Structure 1
Amino acid sequence: MPVLRQARLVLPDGLVENGWLCTEGERIAALGGPQQLPPPGPDGGQYNLSGHYVVPGFVDMHVHGGGGGAFSSGRVEEARNAVAFHLSHGTTTIMASTVTGALADLERYIAELAELVEDGVLAGIHLEGPFIARSRCGAHDPNLLRDPEPAAVRRLVKAGRGAVRMVTLAPELEHGLEATGLLADAGVIAAFGHTDATYAEANHAIARGARVATHVFNAMRPVHHREPGPVTAALEQEEVFVEIVNDGMHVHPSVVHLVYAAAGAHRIALITDAMEAAGSPDGRYPLGPLTVEVSGGAVRVAGTDTLAGSTLTMDNALRNTVLSVGVPIEQAAVSASLTPARALGLADRIGTLETGKYADLVVLDDDLRVVAVMRRGRWVHGMGATAHVPAVTL
């Protein structure tokens, strides 16, 4: 029973100074503050954290790759490399996002990724495209976009054998509202993004079951004082979770601050939207069928100013939220862990430091940089860990 002592435990309602936490097997067995004595824990080791923060393991519900691996490559080892890279930055639960492609190619990628979901390496699959608006396609090949006809939507969901957990679509497309309802009825999260939807159209999608706004503000009709658009609809509706890419480039810190004031940490999910170049040098990289250029950490479609994903990691997203936006660490941790866990229906197992939940946690120093990562009660980074990514059950 490993025991972590002298820690600053980050809980949703505040910090516990000089706290302790012990694990048993895959789960958190107990935790407390200085007024309580932890169990001796001689069998699993004692870890004096010297005042470091302990936050719940990060949950990234929108990421395309990293560490030189892409989820849309069709190669399982690349996907495993991407998972290992983000795990070293504290992401203990990760959902693989695909990019727009031909239906046959997407079926193949989904089937390959489904194996990793079944093995417990991935929490699920997110389809970003091809059911999105040409006018807001961003880094998606406009020639491969299509209307979300029910047959096409069912075809891709079926390819995942239950692993497809979320689909982003533009609700203003001909079959957009029908597809939204179809997905919601099938237990798949319907997200609206890469969309030119009006305020009314977005609200219709929410009424049909849409529950996530994909990287809010980005690739989305902007707010106008006479046409509020999908951003305002998302922020108004309590049942909608809003994703934010907080890398300082996708959304200005002042706007992130505004979103926190409007929606609160309990509805904001920090995401990376990272692609394979995360953790790699600047240069040219593939993103699905397109080529992107990475310079100074910014990713753009080659030869354009269009942002194309990011090189962000979840630890940097949390740090930016605390240091650049001014959100208290306990609220930033909610957005990095609990909120996406709630969006994915996993909050009963992960997302907070809580007795009985899985022992997924990240140790951060005073500068909010990763010191160690534990997944399911095993150190997978720092504390003498190996790079092995354990299979788990969600």
Structure 2
Amino acid sequence: MTVAYLGADIFDGATRHASSALVAEGGRVAAIVPPSELGPDVATVRLDGGLLAPGFVDIQVNGGGGVLFNEAPDVEGIRAICAAHARFGSTALLPTVITDRPEVTFAAIEAVEAAMRGGVPGCAGIHVEGPFLSVARKGAHDPALIRRMNDADLEALCASRVRPFLLTVAPESVTAAQISALAAAGIRVSLGHTDASYETAHRAFAAGASCVTHLFNAMSQLGNREPGLVGAALDAPDVWCGFIPDGHHVHPAALGAALRAKRGPRTLIAVTDAMPTVGSPRDVFELNGREARRENGRLTLADGTLAGSDLSMIGALHYLVRTLGFDLEEALRLCSTHAAEFLGLAATHGRLGPGSRADMVWIDEALELKGVWIGGTPVALG
């Protein structure tokens, strides 16, 4: 079936089109054309102003809709998490399993493979965050479960057929040779939860690490004589940086300065690091047997440690525009296009052009979400 979307401006990921129609066929974008070129038999969806843009792509989602991926590492858990975030505009995401026992980690990987094979809407790959981290920068990860990577881990990870596959590690718990082997197998290696020095970080980048997980948080900081991982990430033009724009994880002045300072074009990615509270009235959940609580939009363990976020991607867009002062189109790229490029999905995600998926968000002038489509199928927002 051919459907044309009319009445809103269209942002295709690079250019804004006024007085145009987006034509979709079979869940894919066919063209963006003047309305006068539409045939008489084309079905139309009329939008009342606002902007039609690529659906959001989130590379770090621990949970949503009351479900934590670590507690439900199965297809139904993935389905629930994806459905919860779709209501906030995330049309593609990486379910993220944090530090846990090996059986949980590998069950999560197998579940994502099954979910992708079964076409679960929104499931685009996996992010494994830990357990190969540094206890010194553990954040909310259980230190009892953090460990070094061994040969069996490396073999099992490289054998996984899930792609995209994002793996967060600390150089303290993996070797340069292991990073190289992971990257050669097509796994995107990110540095995080680490006290690595600037020089150590650059050695890991040279070995094949290509990203940094939630910039500033749980990592060595930018100092005047030791730039740390923050400085290394900002200084490396080919290294991508995920960041959490929620006002709790990083001070807006620090985040704004870092985003302006980052070397390299299009290497910044807004992420949510979302927990089960997103899309749920549930204020309390368990994280490796420890209680985490939501208060005033902030998630913490009993000792005050931040435990992920209560952020959605539409909330991230609001923060980027309203608090950090980003242009709307650049903020949309930070929430969608850049992540798709990093994951190698730019042909199908993060843009609206011939051959891309009809994964779309419709936002009004107040930046409120008015509609979401995944593969041309509307998502119920209620």
Q: What band does the TM-score fall into relative to the shorter chain?
A: over 0.9
Q: 1:278, 1:312 within 8 Å by CA — same for their partners in 2?
A: yes
Structure 2 equivalent of residue 19 of structure 1: 20
Deviation at 1:107, TM superposition (A): 2.0
Establish whether residue 347 from structure 1 lines up as the match of residue 346 from structure 2: yes
Establish whether residue 169 from structure 1 lines up as the match of residue 180 from structure 2: no
How does 1:26-175 map onto structure 2 within 5 Å? Answer: 26-32=27-33, 37-40=36-39, 42-44=41-43, 46-73=44-71, 74-121=73-120, 122-158=123-159, 160-163=160-163, 165-173=165-173, 175=174
* Greater mean alpha carbon deviation, residues 162-171 or residues 331-340: 162-171
1:119-178: per-residue Cα shift (whole Å, max 9, x none)? 2322111110100000111111000100122322323444x44357011000133x3322
Q: Residue 19 of structure 2: SS of its match in structure 1?
A: strand
Structure 2 equivalent of residue 390 of structure 1: none
Structure 2 equivalent of residue 272 of structure 1: 272
Structure 2 equivalent of residue 228 of structure 1: 227
Partners of 1:353 and 1:288 lie apart in 2 by: 40
Deviation at 1:13, TM superposition (A): 4.0
1:45-72: per-residue Cα shift (whole Å, max 9, x none)? x222222111101111111110111222
Partners of 1:94 and 1:297 lie apart in 2 by: 21
Partners of 1:18 and 1:195 lie apart in 2 by: 49
* Greater mean alpha carbon deviation, residues 245-254 or residues 201-210: 245-254
Partners of 2:167 and 2:178 lie apart in 1 by: 10
Establish whether residue 332 from structure 1 lines up as the match of residue 331 from structure 2: yes
Q: 1:2, 1:24 within 8 Å by CA — same for their partners in 2?
A: yes
Call closer, same or farther: CA 1:89–1:224 in 2, change over 3 Å. Answer: same
Q: 1:282, 1:297 within 8 Å by CA — same for their partners in 2?
A: no
Structure 2 equivalent of residue 184 of structure 1: 183
Q: Residue 381 of structure 1: SS of its match in structure 2?
A: coil
Call closer, same or farther: CA 1:41–1:376 in 2, change over 3 Å. Answer: farther
Contiguous gaps of at least 5 residues in structure 2 = none
Q: 1:126, 1:165 within 8 Å by CA — same for their partners in 2?
A: yes
The amino acid across from 1:167 in the alignment is L
Taking structure 2 as the reference length, the TM-score comes to 0.93
Runs of 4+ in 1 over 6 A off after TM superposition: none
Q: Residue 29 of structure 2: SS of its match in structure 1?
A: strand
Deviation at 1:14, TM superposition (A): 4.3
1:247-302: per-residue Cα shift (whole Å, max 9, x none)? 1111222223223312377111111100111122353201244321111121111x
The amino acid across from 2:181 in the alignment is L
Q: Residue 254 of structure 2: SS of its match in structure 1?
A: helix
Structure 2 equivalent of residue 5 of structure 1: 6
Aligned length: 377
The amino acid across from 1:200 in the alignment is E
Establish whether residue 284 from structure 1 lines up as the match of residue 284 from structure 2: yes
Contiguous gaps of at least 5 residues in structure 1 = 388-394
Partners of 1:163 and 1:353 lie apart in 2 by: 22
* Greater mean alpha carbon deviation, residues 268-277 or residues 231-240: 231-240
1:52-110: per-residue Cα shift (whole Å, max 9, x none)? 11110111111111011122223432221111011111111111100111112322232
Call closer, same or farther: CA 1:234–1:120 in 2, change over 3 Å. Answer: farther
Q: 1:265, 1:335 within 8 Å by CA — same for their partners in 2?
A: no
The amino acid across from 1:139 in the alignment is A
Structure 2 equivalent of residue 209 of structure 1: 208
Query: Identity of counterpart residues, as a percentage?
Result: 35
